[in-house]
Structure 1
Amino acid sequence: MRRLVEVSLRGLDIDLHAAADGYEAVEAISRLRPDVVVLDIGLPGIDGWEVLERLRADPETALARVLVLTAHAEPEVAAQAVAATADDFMTKPFKPGVLKASVERLLTPR
């Protein structure tokens, strides 16, 4: 999945970093302080919900825009993403162009 995200975002003027698990994601987000995070809920280690909670709790990363990716298309999962302060929500499988457009939108200043 990481590779598909990377390929989907080619052509954007961004620095792209990937994490193998939730712990690595928290560390990378804390260190890099990205503007946008594409966050898979099904991460090993700690899941994406916990990563998002930690990201929002840290004043240094709290304003990062977050696009949640999940294989769960149930409406309650989308509602949980909104309640967890995600900025966008997308189910897998996704269309690369749709992911790219969503990230471009999130990169636009508020």
Structure 2
Amino acid sequence: MEKMTMKAKILIVDDDPDLTNLVKTILEAEDYMVYAAESGEEALGEVPKVRPDLIILDIILPGIDGYDTCKILKTDDHTNFIPIIILSIKCSVKDRVVGLNKGADDYITKPFDPDELTARVEAVLRGYGHSPISRGKRN
């Protein structure tokens, strides 16, 4: 069975270029189209251009942190439908609860397992109906 040709667009928001490159490599191996932003402000500017199907968002960012970036995206009618997975070194229960309460759809702690990241991305996208057929209707 061949892979689907129209995979989702994913925006990674992290100020660590090594981590961004790692996540990008993992997701591109699964045929996702991957974009990157280094700050919350940059992400907010990229979202209307890229129109991502999913955002992977760090919490500790220069300027607007990940929590506030998530809240801004989830309270805007133009972006509140985009699923967000937080990927952060902040790993306490309180941190995870805050992230989920700000609107994140999932929360993964660093360090992470590449297979788990891929599985969670797939699960969140499935939950939002991001199949090649639904993507074609949206564009």
TM over 0.5: yes
Q: Does 2:122 align with 1:104?
A: yes
Bigger Cα Rg: 2
Residue identity matched to 2:29: G
Residue identity matched to 2:63: G
Residue identity matched to 2:91: A
Greater length-normalized contact order (CA 8 Å, ≥ 6 residues apart): 1
Post-superposition, which runs of at least 4 consecutive aligned residues in structure 1 deviate over 3 A?
none
1:10 to 4, 20, 28: 28
> Counterpart of 1:83?
101
Q: Does 2:37 align with 1:19?
A: yes
Q: Is the 8 A contact 2:39 2:61 kept in 1?
A: yes
Report the aligned-residue RMSD. Answer: 1.4
CA distance, structure 2, for counterparts of residue 103 and residue 65 of structure 1? 10
**Number of paired residues?**
110
Residue identity matched to 2:62: P
Report the identity percentage.
35
- Provide TM-score, normalisation by structure 2: 0.73
Q: Is the 8 A contact 2:59 2:90 kept in 1?
A: no
Structure 2 portions without partners, runs of 5+: 1-18, 131-139
What CA deviation, in whole Å up to 9, does each residue of 1:60-100 have, x standing for no partner?
11010110011011100111111111100000011111111
- Provide TM-score, normalisation by structure 1: 0.91
